[in-house]
Amino acid sequence: MAHRYAIYWAPPREHPLWQAGCAWLGRDPETGETFAPPCLDGLEGVRHAAITAEPARYGWHATLKPPFRLTAGETEASLDAAMARFAAARSAFPAPPLAVSVVSGFLAVTPVAPSPTLDALAADCVAAFDPFRAPPEPAEIARRRRAGLSARQESLLARWGYPYVMEEFRFHLTLTARLPVEEAERLRRALALRLAAALDAPVMIDAIALYAEPAPGAPFRLLRRHPFGREP
């Protein structure tokens, strides 16, 4: 059993957004393949490694239910089976238009406009799989609180183990760590050009994916994709 699990959205394997995102982060979490740092004007390999180390560890994805430890009595198999049942009852829908943006100082791919359908999927994942989640450890709660949470975020942390869910959720696929303002804007423009073809290609939200962190601090792996509308 892995140290932690997470429920993410991953672009379809054959879609250019999956390929471009994995290439940028330098790792395919599904196959384990690694990639040389991309050539981007003004970005040296050492700097690229520094700003992508953390998002690369988590793997290319958009979070639906954040990483959690399994509660006593649950297993990877029971979580996987529940995900299959959940996905079977869902219908695929098109992702909203996406763009590279600055989110709290880091770069990410985000929708250009609100998507209630996408937000509802994330909220449903948070609630449906919460019986599998062990309570966060005190050190994790303290770390979250150091970010300076609002009263509502404190309430969400207490209820769901994470402060940025439900109405605080923002769909995003992380590209970098937090950056200085000028560097963030310069790289945003460069990445918008680099990812333009991938972002212009229509993409469906048609599955959820089970990711696992095998051991504390280890790279997350994409274990299985669960397509929507398919009987388990």
Q: Is residue 197 part of a domain?
A: yes
Please state the rounded mean pLDDT for residues 111-137. 97
Q: Is residue 232 part of a domain?
A: no
Q: Is residue 69 part of a domain?
A: yes
pLDDT digits 0-9 by tens, 3-47: 999 999 999 999 999 999 999 999 999 999 999 988 887 688 789
Residue 46 has a pLDDT of 82
Q: Please report, as a single letter, which amino acid is at residue 195.
A: L
Residues with Cβ within 8 Å of 212's Cβ and at least 6 positions away in sequence, in order, are 2, 4, 5, 6, 76, 220, 221, 223
CATH number at residue 63: 3.90.1140.10
pLDDT digits 0-9 by tens, 62-120: 999 999 999 999 999 999 999 999 999 999 999 999 999 999 999 999 999 999 999 99
Please state the rounded mean pLDDT for residues 124-144. 95
Rounded distance between C-alpha atoms, residue 97 and residue 146, angstroms: 33
Domain that holds residue 141: 4-227
Q: Is residue 35 part of a domain?
A: yes
Under 8 Å between Cβ of 103 and 172: yes
Q: Which band of pLDDT confidence, cut at 50, 70 and 90, is reported for residue 231?
A: confident
Looking at the 3D structure of the chain, how many domains does it have? Answer: 1
Q: Is residue 93 part of a domain?
A: yes
Q: Is residue 111 part of a domain?
A: yes
pTM of the entire structure? 0.95
Q: Is residue 213 part of a domain?
A: yes
Asked if residue 1 has pLDDT above 90, the reply is: no
Q: Which band of pLDDT confidence, cut at 50, 70 and 90, is reported for residue 169?
A: very high
